[in-house]
Amino acid sequence: MLSADTLVILDRDGVINHDSDNYIKSLDEWVPYPASITAIARLTQAGYTVAVATNQSGIARGYYDEATLHAMHDQLTALVEAEGGGIAHIAYCPHGPDDNCICRKPLPGMLLNIQQHLGLASLTGSWMVGDSLRDLQAGEAVGCKTALVRTGKGVKTEQRGVGLEKAKVFDDLAQFVEWLIR
């Protein structure tokens, strides 16, 4: 039975795959961290539900289109399924920072989309795992426990030391998963 306590929401770029200041604009540029796919599969096998919430302003900026984004997400899903795992839902924000949408993190719109899609009454007690302060802020806004990973922008986020009072910090997604399922 799906419950908020067994839901783990992941940011994508910098958590699951390598990030780039120039945006991940193609399937060729979408390169998962070696251990992240296995980590997601392990979560699923341990009884957790995994969802993804990812800001994708490169769409609004014209760097790539939604078909390209879907190709990346299809690849992600296929790799996770090949290792015996699954992703219940992928929510993304295609808007730019000045579009005044309700979904772009640090706003919690994508997390609320995941909650609605999965039919949960609340997200309180679920996990939000990210590499930036805005990921953690989005999670905290809806009652998630938060974890910062040092991959992607995580080291810089940790060094700033702002807004991390409630977050647990891990080297990467695999270390978080190992800790969580232990």
Q: Is the pLDDT of residue 7 over 90?
A: yes
139-178 tens-digit pLDDT: 999 999 999 999 999 999 999 999 999 999 999 999 999 9
Report the chain's mean pLDDT, rounded to a whole number.
97
Q: What is the 8-class DSSP label of residue 60?
A: T
Strand, helix or coil for residue 13: strand
pLDDT, residue 83, reads 97
Largest Cα span, the chain = 43
Q: Is the pLDDT of residue 118 over 90?
A: yes
CA-based angle 8:12:15, to the nearest 5? Answer: 80
pLDDT, residue 142, reads 98
Which helix or strand (DSSP H or E) is residue 80 part of?
helix 66-82
60-95 tens-digit pLDDT: 999 999 999 999 999 999 999 999 999 999 999 999
Q: Give the mean model confidence (pLDDT) for residues 19-41.
A: 96
**Assign residue 173 a region: left if phi > 0, alpha if psi is -120 to 50, beta otherwise?**
alpha
pLDDT, residue 136, reads 98
pLDDT, residue 34, reads 86
Query: Annotated active-site positions, please?
Result: 11, 13
Identify the band that residue 127 occupies on the pLDDT scale cut at 50, 70 and 90: very high
Cα distance between residue 130 and residue 137, in whole Å: 10
130 alpha carbon, distance to own chain's centre: 6
pLDDT, residue 1, reads 72
The reported pTM is 0.98
